Amino acid sequence: MKQWTARQIAGMIDATILKPQATAADVETLCRDARDYHFKAVCVNPVFVPLCVRLLRGSGVRVATVAGFPLGASAPEAKAQEARIAVRQGAHEVDMVIHVGGLIAGDADAVRADIAGVVAACKGENPDAVVKVIIEACLLRDAQKREACRLAREAGADFVKTSTGFSTGGATVDDVALMYACVGQEMQVKAAGGIRSLDDALAMLQAGATRIGTSGGVAIVKEAMARF
């Protein structure tokens, strides 16, 4: 089993606050923690992108936001424009939600085009922008998860991500392993949803995740510092 240091684990965490009742003060605390614990990124709702860009400038912590969140059922043009605005405002990464119903219905072309539109919008603003595709695995059969991964890869995205954390389930080790098997040579996998302990995080990393989305990043890193 691979071993990580606390600092390495911190460097794979997207410290997340996406709840609708989050305030600017909550986001300021998140950014302060991200600086102090050297997280990879913060992940916030689009309204807070300018605040995070200002607070984290020069820190090395990346700013991530979401598009089409949490349902994925926005018009493709709206989803792409939401992503474009965020990157224009300074976001480094956009976690978009696929059109889950379209995937389940077998409309592969529409799902691929939806993802590709967000990729083009982001990378048109910043070629180094990172796009993560949330497949909402808890709503899909394994064959559909594989199809979602294939479409995300074909559309030029950088990551596939397990979950929004707002549906019927979060990340599972089996889903991370399946997704890694589909894309691990060409893309990365983000595990998110219900990851609250160091053991949760380590299980996802062992299964192939390279990024952990969690609102419990501080607790996880403190646990790692005490254990390793």
The total of other beta-carbon atoms located within 10 Å of residue 167's CB is: 18
CA-closest candidate to residue 136, choices 126, 118, 127, 149: 149
Give the type of residue at 46: P
3 state DSSP class of 190: strand
Buried b (16+ CB within 10 A) or exposed e, 32-52: ebbbebbbbbbbbbbebbeeb
**Are 48 and 60 in contact, with CB atoms under 8 Å apart?**
no
Question: Which residue is catalytic, options 95, 158, 175, 200?
Answer: 95
**Are 147 and 110 in contact, with CB atoms under 8 Å apart?**
no
Tokens of 208: 């192939």
Buried b (16+ CB within 10 A) or exposed e, 70-89: bebebebeebbbbbbbbbee
Tokens of 104: 């389940």
Is residue 190 among the annotated active site residues?
Answer: yes
Question: Which residue is catalytic, options 40, 132, 145, 190?
Answer: 190
Is residue 123 among the annotated active site residues?
Answer: no
Is residue 36 among the annotated active site residues?
Answer: no
Catalytic (active-site) positions: 95, 161, 190
